[in-house]
Structure 1
Amino acid sequence: MLHHLSFGVADLVRATTFYDAVLSALGYQRVWTDDDAIGYGLSGGGDLFCLKLRGANAKAPGDGFHLAFAAPSPAAVVQFHAVALLHGGIDNGSPGLRLDYGDDYFAAFVIDPDGHHIEAVWSNRCTC
């Protein structure tokens, strides 16, 4: 259903450092870069997620919004969480099974340096 999603960020260098690390843990990479934006996706593909420099106007969406990135394995979810914390993320739910969402739903939750709520999730239903 979705083609891509963008986050406005206050500091593109800080956000890029964070997302280069956490998305690499999930098998994603930078697919393009310019002075005001960075696009991430799968190797050889277009961007599915973009960071856009918005300076002081950058604001994370309010309560109820989060973005879940598909992970290739539970180990990748664990790595995503650890790397996020090392690069300025705030723990919002350590890696583990979330039985409320399914018997194989393994996820971790963090808040990025701009206040965006993000998740890495693996389940047998993921197609990543």
Structure 2
Amino acid sequence: MLHHLSLGVGDIAKAAAFYDAALRPLGYVRVWEDIRPGEEDQAVGYGLPGGGDKLALKHRPNRTGAPGPGFHVAFAALSRDAVTDFHRAALSHGGQDNGAPGLRSHYGPNYFAAFVIDPDGHNIEAVFNPKP
């Protein structure tokens, strides 16, 4: 359904470093960038190698914060290890723990996820949910 999602960030370089590290274990990479220090409308896009962006970070230094409760972005992972590696990388690059890697049986019997608050306050998740 979605073509891509954009998130506003206060510091594009800091946000890009965070997402470079956090998304790498999930197989997502920076597929384009428009970083011009000191200029307006900078952005970075992430997706699968060789593909288009599914997530764009837009530099918005005057933003008033992340969306409120109920909003989060969930990234698909290929394994439980990838979810754990996402969580570890995110925390080591400025993220805050919002739910350690583990089964979330209230979402389904195989739903394995981790939650992190990124440096700009966005609630992000990595999830591995194989069908039985």
Task: Give the match for residue 51 of structure 2.
Answer: 45
Are residue 75 (structure 1) and residue 81 (structure 2) matched? yes
Task: Give the match for residue 114 of structure 1.
Answer: 120
Judged with a 3 Å threshold, the aligned counterparts in structure 2 of structure 1 residues 21 and 104 are, in CA distance, closer, same or farther, namely same
Query: What amino acid does structure 1 have at the position aligned with 2:79?
Result: S
Cα shift at 1:59: 2.2
Cα shift at 1:107: 0.1
Cα shift at 1:57: 1.7
Judged with a 3 Å threshold, the aligned counterparts in structure 2 of structure 1 residues 20 and 58 are, in CA distance, closer, same or farther, namely farther
What TM-score comes out, normalization by structure 2 length? 0.92
* 1:19-63: CA deviation from partner (whole Å, max 9, x where unpaired): 000010100000000020000000111000000000022521000
- Asked which structure has the greater CA Rg, the reply is 2
Task: Give the match for residue 13 of structure 1.
Answer: 13
RMSD: 0.8
The share of aligned pairs that are identical, in percent, is 63
Task: Give the match for residue 103 of structure 1.
Answer: 109
Query: What amino acid does structure 1 have at the position aligned with 2:9?
Result: V
Does structure 2 retain, via aligned residues, the 8 Å contact 1:10–1:58? Answer: no
SS at match of 2:101: strand
Task: Give the match for residue 24 of structure 1.
Answer: 24
Question: Which 5+ residue runs of structure 1 have no aligned equivalent?
Answer: none
SS at match of 2:44: strand
What TM-score comes out, normalization by structure 1 length? 0.95
Q: Which runs of 4+ in 1 moved over 2 A?
A: none
Task: Give the match for residue 38 of structure 2.
Answer: none
Give the Cα–Cα distance (whole angstroms) in 2 for the partners of residues 70 and 58 of structure 1. 28
SS at match of 2:81: helix
Give the Cα–Cα distance (whole angstroms) in 1 for the partners of residues 78 and 108 of structure 2. 17
